[in-house]
Structures are given as C-alpha cells and as structure tokens.
C-alpha cells in the first residue's frame, strides 16, 4: 500500500525493505545505517527526477510538481520526506500485523468473539494498537518550562524521553492495562502519538489492520502457532516486532 501511494514500483520492494530494516534496526552499526540511508535516498532521488519529467498519480509526483517545481521544497527535502514516509509507513504496519496475530491466537476467546461479531474489529484494532504500541524509539523532548509529573519535578531545559508503550499501559488511564480487552474504551491511547505529532499515516494503518486481520482469520480459520511466543526471536529495532512467525493452518 505504501508503495502504491508513493509511486514506488512494487518490484523494488525487496530493495527498500532491506534498507528500511537497516535504518531502523538497533543492531545496525553507524556505517550500515548510513549506507542504507544513502542507498534509499539515491533511489528516491532518481524516482523524484523521473516524476519531475513524467508525473503520475502518486505522492512522489505531487512532491515533484507541487513542492520542488514551485520552490517550496528542495530536492533533498522532498527525498528526505519520501524516505521517511516509505520507512515509517512500511516498518510499523509490517511489524504490527504479525504481532497482532500472535496476540489474538493467544487469546482464543476474544478471537472467537471477533469471528462471531465482525463489527467489533475496529474497536479490537484500537485495543491491539494500545496493547502493542510497536514504536519503541522513545520521543525525545526538552521541557520549555518547569513542570511536575507524577511527583517528579522537571526543570526548563532538561531533556525527557517519552515512552509511548509505557503511557499506553498506564493503570490510571486504562483498567488492567496489561490485559487485552477488545471491548474496552481505548480513547486516548498514544500508539499514533499526540497533538501536532500524531502519525499522518494513521488512517492508512487503521484501514490496513481493519481489512487485513479479519481477512486473514476468515481465510485461514485453522491458523495456529507452531512454537510458543517465548521462543520467538525479537527484532532489535526502534519498531517492535518478531523476526519470524511460525504458524500452521
């Protein structure tokens, strides 16, 4: 989906998936991350140049014709934005999807409830987003004034790291936060950030999950894990996920 929106040929999917993993992986060294970023930027720079000459109905074409051509953005800025959208739009959903499958298979009674009532899927997706909160990078912020949080005084100019996954397990906001409850009210969850810093792709992510998860369990009613989740190899990345998902159906 992110390929189609940006106008990136899907046959190049393997290439940008490799670069995306290298950029977001905590196991990547500085040289590997820099090389991946350079390769991705070079690829998108060529695509941007092509769309300047031959625009199509996609976001890279809009960046080329509506921002670069008008002088509102430089080519480097447009390439950087396209790279961010490609990596962020791919890594998050690609990791959220298998983790959601694991969680639902580990809660068969709630999965059965969703099969019996497909209208409950949108609410279930919101609870999965809260429960998993796959972005684990930690948002770095500077306090602009003195503020007290949970009895701790943070002075103006001091740095803080905001952990979205911790906020989404806050017992003062969500009852029994460490339990999955597809019927709960998830209003205020921070899986997509907050305020001006909310993810601009959240509507796409919700649609992908609300369409893809029901389709998967509908088409593969016998889907089950073939290994305990405790044995899964986790990705060392700013986006939480598993390296492989062993299943049968």
Is the per-residue pLDDT at 27 higher than 70?
no
Q: What is the pLDDT of residue 169?
A: 95
Q: What is the pLDDT of residue 140?
A: 85
Q: What is the pLDDT of residue 39?
A: 92
> Which is more confidently placed, 184 or 195?
184
Q: What is the mean pLDDT of residues 183-189?
A: 94
pTM over 0.75: yes
pLDDT confidence of 138, banded at 50, 70, 90? confident
Cα–Cα distance for residue pair 204/24, rounded to 1 Å: 21
For domain 2-134+201-248, the CATH superfamily is Cytochrome P450 (1.10.630.10)
What is the largest distance, in Å, between two alpha-carbon atoms of the chain?
58
pLDDT tens digits for range 74-114: 999 999 999 888 888 888 898 999 999 999 999 999 999 99
What are the boundaries of each domain within the chain?
A: 2-134+201-248
- Whether the CB-CB separation of 247 and 229 falls below 8 Å is answered with no
Contacting residues for 152 by C-beta, under 8 A, at least 6 apart: none
Is the per-residue pLDDT at 26 higher than 70?
no
Strand partners, 225: 247
* Lowest-confidence segment of 3-7, 156-160, 213-217 by average pLDDT: 3-7
- Whether the CB-CB separation of 225 and 247 falls below 8 Å is answered with yes
Q: What is the mean pLDDT of residues 174-189?
A: 96
Q: What is the pLDDT of residue 179?
A: 97
N-terminal to C-terminal alpha carbon distance within the chain: 26
Is the per-residue pLDDT at 58 higher than 80?
yes
Is the per-residue pLDDT at 24 higher than 80?
no
Cα–Cα distance for residue pair 127/129, rounded to 1 Å: 5
CA 163 to centroid of chain Cα atoms: 15
pLDDT tens digits for range 44-54: 999 999 999 99
Token duo for residue 118: 């497909």
- Could you give the percent of the chain with pLDDT greater than 70? 99
**Strands 247-248 and 152-154, how do they pair?**
unpaired
């Amino acid at each position: 989906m992110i390929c189609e929106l940006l106008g990136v040929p899907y046959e190049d999917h393997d290439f940008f998936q490799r670069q995306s993993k290298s950029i977001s992986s905590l196991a990547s060294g500085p040289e590997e991350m820099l090389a991946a970023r350079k390769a991705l930027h070079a690829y998108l720079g060529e695509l941007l140049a092509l769309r300047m000459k031959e625009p199509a109905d996609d976001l890279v074409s809009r960046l080329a014709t509506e921002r670069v051509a008008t002088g509102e953005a430089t080519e480097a800025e447009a390439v950087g934005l396209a790279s961010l959208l490609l990596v962020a739009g791919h890594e998050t959903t690609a990791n959220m999807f298998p983790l959601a499958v694991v969680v639902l298979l580990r809660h068969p009674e709630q999965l059965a409830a969703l099969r019996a009532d497909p209208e409950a899927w949108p609410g279930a997706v919101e609870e999965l987003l809260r429960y998993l909160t796959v972005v684990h990078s930690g948002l770095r912020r500077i306090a602009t004034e003195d503020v007290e949080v949970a009895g701790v005084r943070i002075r103006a100019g001091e740095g803080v790291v905001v952990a979205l996954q911790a906020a989404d397990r806050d017992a003062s906001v969500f009852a029994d936060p460490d339990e999955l409850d597809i019927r709960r009210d998830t209003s205020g969850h921070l899986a997509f950030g907050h305020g001006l810093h909310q993810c601009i792709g959240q509507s796409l992510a919700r649609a992908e999950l609300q369409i893809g998860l029901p389709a998967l369990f509908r088409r593969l009613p016998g889907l089950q894990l073939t290994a305990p989740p405790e044995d899964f190899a986790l990705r060392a990345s700013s986006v939480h996920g598993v390296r492989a998902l062993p299943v049968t159906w």
